[in-house]
Structure formats: structure tokens, C-alpha cells
Amino acid sequence: MSDEASTLSINNVVILLMILVALFAWAMAAAGYAHDAENWRKDIDPTEDIVVPAGRKTGRVTFLIQAGKALLDFLWNAIVQVPNCVAVISTMFSDRLWLVILTGVLEGGIFAGGHFMKKLEKQLAADPRMPRPTRKKKNSKKRKRRTPDGSEL
């Protein structure tokens, strides 16, 4: 398999990054809408499930389990809010304009970075590498080599 076939092009990477940013922005907007309109996760007290056990390792495991559950809940809410997309988008533009601006800046930065990388790729492909400069020899005389016992070869 050649190297070109196994690597992603710059366009593909830029598109994937832009989709990831857009999906994360949607998830944030959906969480904000669900929190405001549907009282999503307002009844959860963040300290009620935390029991400080005697061992520190068990506390870390408990924290990781709770963080995993919260992440899954966050992602599931993004999927559940798709039918409410008009309400989510209007709430995002009216109440969370900073999220719209931040998403636009991130998307623009990714696009500009991809454009710069594509331009750099074309420039590097057009200009072959310059040959490495060689040093000029100061003396054309060959040095005499010596053996470890001090005699000349």
C-alpha cells in the first residue's frame, strides 16, 4: 500500500474538523435549550452521588463513572433535540450569541488553516529541494593516517 493511499488529504481533514466543531456546537446549543426549556439536569445535585470512600482509587473510579454517564447524557440529549432544531437554533441566536460567534471563529480558523496548508503543499510540490551545499576543501593534501602504535600508514 502506498503512502498516498493511506493518508488523508488536507481537504478531508479540514472537512472532518469542521464537522466535529459543528456537531459539538450543536450539542452545546441543544444542552442549553434543554436546560432552559425542559429543565434538563436541573434536578441533579452534583454532590448527592459523591461518596468519599476510604481508598482514593475507588473515588477516582466513581468520578470516571459519573463523568462517563454525564458525557453519554450530553451526547444523547444532542440526538434527542434534533426534532426541536428550529427552537434550539432560535434560542442559540437569542440567548447564546457567543456560541454562534465562537463557532464561526473556529470554523473560519479551520478553513483558513486548511487553505494555508493547501497553499504550502502546492509551494513545496512546485519547488524541488535545493541540493545540499558542499564544503570547499581547504587543503587538497591527504592527511597521513596513523596506527594506534604511532607508525604512519
What tens digit of pLDDT does each residue of 58-93 get?
667 777 888 888 899 889 999 999 999 999 999 999
Mean of pLDDT over the chain: 81
Tens digits of residue pLDDT in 89-123: 999 999 899 999 999 999 999 999 999 999 988 88
Q: What is d(CA 27, CA 78) in angstroms, rounded to the nearest whole number?
A: 5
Closest CA to 74 of 37, 19, 16, 34: 34
Of 9-18, 29-38, 104-113, which range is least confident? 29-38
The three cell numbers of residue 13 are 481533514
Q: 78 near 31, Cβ under 8 Å?
A: yes
- 146: DSSP letter: B
Domain parsing of the chain, residue ranges: 9-126
Closest CA to 118 of 6, 13, 18, 2: 13
